[in-house]
A and B are shown apart, each in its own frame.
Chain A
Amino acid sequence: MIASVIAFGAKLIRLGERGADIADVIAMMFTILACLWAVLGRRSAGDGHGRRLIPLPSVPRRVVVLLAAIAVTSSAGWLGRGAADPTTTAVKGCPAAAVLRVLTGPEQVRPTRELLAAYRGATVEHGCALVEPFVLTAPASEARSALATGWTGSVRTRFGPLPDLWLTDAANLAAELAATPAERVRAIDDIAWSPVLMAPPTAAIAERPELGWYRATTTWAELDDLRRTEGWTLLRASPAASAGALAATASLYTNGGDRALEHAIGAALDAAGYPLGDETELLCHHRRHSPDGPVTALAVTEQAMLRFNRGDVLNERCGAGPPRAGGDELLGLYPTDGVAVTHRAVRFHWTHGRPRSAADDFVAWLRGPDGAAELWNVGLRPEHGRPEAGNGALGPVPRPGRLDAAAERETEQRYRLARRTLRVLIAVDASGSMAARPGPSSRFQLAAQGVSRALAQVTARDEVGLWVFPAGPAPYRELAGLGRPDEDLGGVTRRDLAVRELAGVTPAGQTPLVTTVEAGLTALGPGDETQVSAMVVLTDGRATDGVALPADRAAAAGVRLFVVAAGEASCADAALRDATTATGGVCVDADPAGLGTTLTTLLANLWGEDG
């Protein structure tokens, strides 16, 4: 009865807010009837056969029970947080699902989608899902900056909806965000972890039983010795793009010899055309083009290894593949002095109402047994829950520590000093279409702003040059020749000269893309063990001087080709996609308004800096 009275009050408030419909009225009538019979028709006391308070007609007990049941069930929808009840659902359909906007990094998009699909399924009541999840993505460092400013300005058009939750493997950035004075963070929880390991093909160990002890009782230094002794080629993703790769780098540096190690990894990546990207990109290429010859071992997270072995979808550009088997699958060697990547859930003060409840429920689910099982399914070890062995993974292993912020900064610094130097030529489209204005600024101005920000990040060790195309009747023009960014060029540094010259360019004419790229490849020359050669082209149009970029020619040049495509240009064009992929580069689509920031991010990843 108390429930009916509360429900009745809740209904009155609710009806006052939004107006009644038939279902509300029916439910309310049943509630009132149940209350009346319960209160007025109650027998006085004692043995239950006393006088009624009001002489209401006698009603069979089963009818009263039925009325009460209908009243209670019809009330549940109003009392719960959007919960579906059969009566309301049958008459009115499902209640509106609570939106849950989840931000995550590019490496975790697919696992996060899988987790949210499982969670959404778990919320289904009477055929109604109570949550409508949405996944948006941003690199961790950019996410941290955007979240610190409240996800305002152009962030929402660039990355997507205001997030209710940030699932991140950048645990230190999450902590940094929580410590910012603006107090954006409401709660922060450790959800799961993934140890970093070395993963050769199973056959490399299975055929050598004496190596079996390396699986769980060794150190990184011993693994490194093993790798050298056995002549394994080592691969690792870019520490600038992957939390797992950064953690792996810290471990790999324990033996010293940072520069030699980076040069060896760089040469191995170049030799087989691996991209300089995150773990999903590394393993995607590995799945498609496993190199012949020496054994290749990968320094990756356990999650990446598991998903690779199972043939899971790795990222949006890398669909499912056949599961690895027959000795070809990777086998995790777990160092005892290793580190783990910690996955955190961050909730925000700006989320209110039902999205807030949904975010809280989702985190609680992740920390419960059902969530733990799903975390394991996506390749992560839940903070609470018993892991299983299989697919190259060991069962329970001691939880390694994680890199703290200081160690992470030190590793980043050591990586920047150790990595191969970069020789980068930036070529900016200055054709007539770049004068188009997606907003207050033209595409060309946005591109120029991006170049300017990117040039500010070039380290003194690297070389950079800047071209535009076209330049009047000529196909391209050199605004700043290749060289050190701080070199004095007659009272002005190369960096400043490039920015100044770019500001003076007026977009006009056609798009001699092929001529420019071919000339750029020649000017750069091939990279080697100590240097990466890269050409970064920003264009909004299709080439007007040739049918297609010659992928073979680009691949043979030993230069990684990167393209930022906007407007009429698109990475859906096979020519751009093939030419960039063939060189171990990448083609990135950008909104016209996001041209500059996309370029900055791409170059920052190359330079190993935060975007």
Chain B
Amino acid sequence: MRAGLRRGLATGLAGVLGVIAGVVGTTVVHDDTRRAEVGLPAGELVLMSGEDETDGGQHQVLIDQWNQLHPGNPARIVSLDSNATAARLDMVGAVQSHERVDVLNLDIAAIAEFAHHGWIRPLDESRLDTSGFLEKPLASGRYDNRLWALPFNTDAGLLFRRSDLVEPARSWAELESQVERFFADQGRAPGVEAGYAGQLDEYEGLTVNVLEAVQDVADRPMVQDGRVAVTADDLARAVDRLRPAGPDGVPVVLPDAIDFDEGGTTRAFLTGRVLTMRNWPIAYRELDNAVPRPEFEVDPLPGGSVLGGQSLAVTAHSENPVAAQALIEFLTDSRSQQLLFQRGGFAPSRTVVYHDAEVRGLYPYAEALLEAVNSAQPRPVTHCYWGFSRELAAMASRALTDGTPLPDDAVDRLDAALRC
């Protein structure tokens, strides 16, 4: 009861602070003046990040701005593979090998692992003003009661829908019904092969798709308190939902999706093969710029999303952690966040950007995105996450590819993986 009261008060206070931060932040966004932080220890800074996929390379644009303001701390980006699994591994190799790097742009699911193994250092919270950040992306940077990273961009799965062919679906069952109705009258769009495509290739994307399906089926997150909190039946039903239909079934899931990552899904949607797709907000720009542009709208994912995104952390072996933290603060401030969203399509981690009139004009789905982020469930916070993810993706991929059931001991194996 008392704990509930405390949580209620904390939520209320956070809400008030959020509103205040929003008002203050709005001023920051539109007041395009930036000042260099003085007194930083001099020295070059190296930022390691997955490949920048924004139009025009907005990461570099921001770094150029930093370099103009901080000639004593020139920063450069070491670009890594855009694949999250490869990028995480390269970063682990970099810290284990003491490669020269000060700031890591980590997938939020990797923060716990990097913090647990002492590869990154806690941020100096006495210097930080974290008001104005979205609550969940900010919380994803906390581990062991310390703040290790600030959110560079956040992410939540969205449902992109061919608005000329289907209506919004509020649940998976509703989506299935719509697909069934659509294929009962196939003459409407002969090129359409299926109702839905997600990321079902064997990688981190598949883990996310399965986690989302599980939380919808079981009505709770798959992992709670470090243990698998759903039954084998929940897990099986979630994977069954993602199975491509047999020859006689309603083609809800596109069979080729078992080889899709985000790019493959986008192309299937663009080429008119599916009625809907699950994808991240970054796909919006590609669809919007396509020639010809498909008629589409963006809705929250039926059943909700898990939280994605990247966060910036200072490496444990950085020789200039103070300047490194200053760079992180610069890259996550409201102005930077607005630029990344406006020009790059990355979902911002600051509330104020979603309320900006100019941004809303450019991205009509900003409200849906904010709703999706606010309701997204965090991925399991554990240093064992990547082993768990590998295990889940491997067993789900095998089940989807071979058309076989999950192994009988699936839950036990995932539980063991969570304890690494």
Which residues of A come within 8 Å of B, CB atoms?
17-18, 93-94, 96, 98-99, 101, 128, 132, 134, 136, 154, 156-157, 160-162, 164, 350-356, 431-433, 436-440, 509-511, 541-542, 544, 547, 567-570, 572-573, 591, 593
Contact (Cβ within 8 A) A157 B79: yes
Contact (Cβ within 8 A) B267 A573: yes
B residues 275-327 near A (Cβ < 8 Å) are: 286, 289-292
Q: Which residue of A lies closest to B259 (CB)?
A: A572
Binds A, one of B37-45, B49-57, B125-133, B362-370: B49-57
Binds A, one of B1-9, B89-97, B158-166, B405-413: B89-97
Complex Cα gap A436–B56 (Å): 8
Contact (Cβ within 8 A) A593 B89: no
Contact (Cβ within 8 A) B99 A544: no
Partner of B419, one of A93, A132, A433, A440: A93
Contact (Cβ within 8 A) B53 A162: no
A-B contact pairs, 21 of them (CB 8 A): A93-B420, A96-B96, A101-B90, A132-B89, A156-B81, A157-B51, A157-B81, A161-B80, A161-B81, A161-B86, A164-B97, A350-B97, A352-B98, A353-B96, A353-B97, A355-B97, A439-B57, A542-B270, A568-B270, A572-B259, A591-B51
Complex Cα gap A94–B80 (Å): 27
Contact (Cβ within 8 A) B97 A541: no
Contact (Cβ within 8 A) B89 A353: no
Complex Cα gap A355–B290 (Å): 43
Beta-carbon contacts of B115-133 to A below 8 Å, as 1s and 0s?
A: 0011000000000000000
Contact (Cβ within 8 A) B92 A99: yes
Please judge, given known A-B contacts A132-B89, A161-B89, whether A98 and B96 are in contact too, CB under 8 Å: yes
By a CB distance below 8 angstroms, the chain A residues around B86 are: 134, 136, 160-161
Contact (Cβ within 8 A) A93 B384: yes
Complex Cα gap A432–B256 (Å): 28
Contact (Cβ within 8 A) B52 A162: no
Partner of B289, one of A93, A101, A433, A509: A433
Partner of A568, one of B81, B113, B290, B383: B290
Contact (Cβ within 8 A) A572 B256: yes
Shortest 7 CB-CB contacts between residues of A and residues of B:
A161-B90, A99-B93, A18-B118, A439-B57, A157-B51, A96-B117, A570-B267
- The smallest C-beta distance from B189 to any residue of chain A, in angstroms, reads 13
- The smallest C-beta distance from A438 to any residue of chain B, in angstroms, reads 7
Contact (Cβ within 8 A) B82 A156: no
Q: Which residue of A lies closest to B269 (CB)?
A: A568
Complex Cα gap A432–B263 (Å): 19
Contact (Cβ within 8 A) B291 A431: yes
User: Is the C-beta of B60 less than 8 angstroms from some C-beta in chain A?
Assistant: yes
Complex Cα gap A547–B272 (Å): 11
By a CB distance below 8 angstroms, the chain B residues around A432 are: 291
Q: How many A-B residue pairs have CB under 8 A?
A: 122
From B57, B93, B256, B267, name the one whose CB has the most chain A CB atoms within 10 angstroms.
B93
Q: Which residue of A lies closest to B121 (CB)?
A: A18
Please judge, given known A-B contacts A353-B96, A568-B270, A593-B51, whether A156 and B90 are in contact too, CB under 8 Å: yes
From A18, A94, A432, A439, name the one whose CB has the most chain B CB atoms within 10 angstroms.
A439
Contact (Cβ within 8 A) B90 A355: no
Contact (Cβ within 8 A) A510 B291: yes
- The smallest C-beta distance from A274 to any residue of chain B, in angstroms, reads 25
Contact (Cβ within 8 A) A570 B93: no
Q: Which residue of B lies closest to A567 (CB)?
A: B286
By a CB distance below 8 angstroms, the chain B residues around A569 are: 267
Complex Cα gap A160–B270 (Å): 28
Partner of A572, one of B55, B79, B89, B264: B264
From A96, A432, A591, name the one whose CB has the most chain B CB atoms within 10 angstroms.
A96
User: Is the C-beta of B78 less than 8 angstroms from some C-beta in chain A?
Assistant: yes
Contact (Cβ within 8 A) A154 B79: yes
Beta-carbon contacts of B239-257 to A below 8 Å, as 1s and 0s?
A: 0000000000000000010
From B52, B268, B271, name the one whose CB has the most chain A CB atoms within 10 angstroms.
B271
Contact (Cβ within 8 A) A156 B79: yes
Contact (Cβ within 8 A) B80 A156: yes
Partner of A542, one of B57, B118, B264, B271: B271
Contact (Cβ within 8 A) B118 A17: yes
- The smallest C-beta distance from B297 to any residue of chain A, in angstroms, reads 19
Q: Which residue of B lies closest to A156 (CB)?
A: B80
Contact (Cβ within 8 A) B264 A438: no
By a CB distance below 8 angstroms, the chain A residues around B267 are: 542, 568-570, 572-573
User: Is the C-beta of B143 less than 8 angstroms from some C-beta in chain A?
Assistant: no
- The smallest C-beta distance from A331 to any residue of chain B, in angstroms, reads 33
- The smallest C-beta distance from B357 to any residue of chain A, in angstroms, reads 26
Complex Cα gap A432–B98 (Å): 44
User: Is the C-beta of B148 less than 8 angstroms from some C-beta in chain A?
Assistant: no
By a CB distance below 8 angstroms, the chain B residues around A351 are: 97
Complex Cα gap A352–B118 (Å): 17
Complex Cα gap A400–B14 (Å): 74
Beyond the given A436-B55, A591-B82, please list 6 additional residue pairs across the A-B interface where CB-CB is below 8 A.
A353-B96, A437-B55, A437-B57, A440-B57, A440-B60, A511-B291
By a CB distance below 8 angstroms, the chain A residues around B81 are: 156-157, 160-161
User: Is the C-beta of B330 less than 8 angstroms from some C-beta in chain A?
Assistant: no
By a CB distance below 8 angstroms, the chain B residues around A157 are: 51, 79-82
User: Is the C-beta of B341 less than 8 angstroms from some C-beta in chain A?
Assistant: no
Partner of A156, one of B78, B268, B420: B78
User: Is the C-beta of B203 less than 8 angstroms from some C-beta in chain A?
Assistant: no
Please judge, given known A-B contacts A132-B92, A134-B86, whether A433 and B57 are in contact too, CB under 8 Å: no
Contact (Cβ within 8 A) B271 A568: yes
Partner of B96, one of A134, A355, A541: A355
- The smallest C-beta distance from B277 to any residue of chain A, in angstroms, reads 14
By a CB distance below 8 angstroms, the chain B residues around A350 are: 97, 99
User: Is the C-beta of B182 less than 8 angstroms from some C-beta in chain A?
Assistant: no
- The smallest C-beta distance from B204 to any residue of chain A, in angstroms, reads 14
Complex Cα gap A511–B270 (Å): 14
- The smallest C-beta distance from A116 to any residue of chain B, in angstroms, reads 13
Q: Which residue of A lies closest to B93 (CB)?
A: A99
- The smallest C-beta distance from B400 to any residue of chain A, in angstroms, reads 16
Complex Cα gap A542–B269 (Å): 12
By a CB distance below 8 angstroms, the chain B residues around A541 are: 290-291
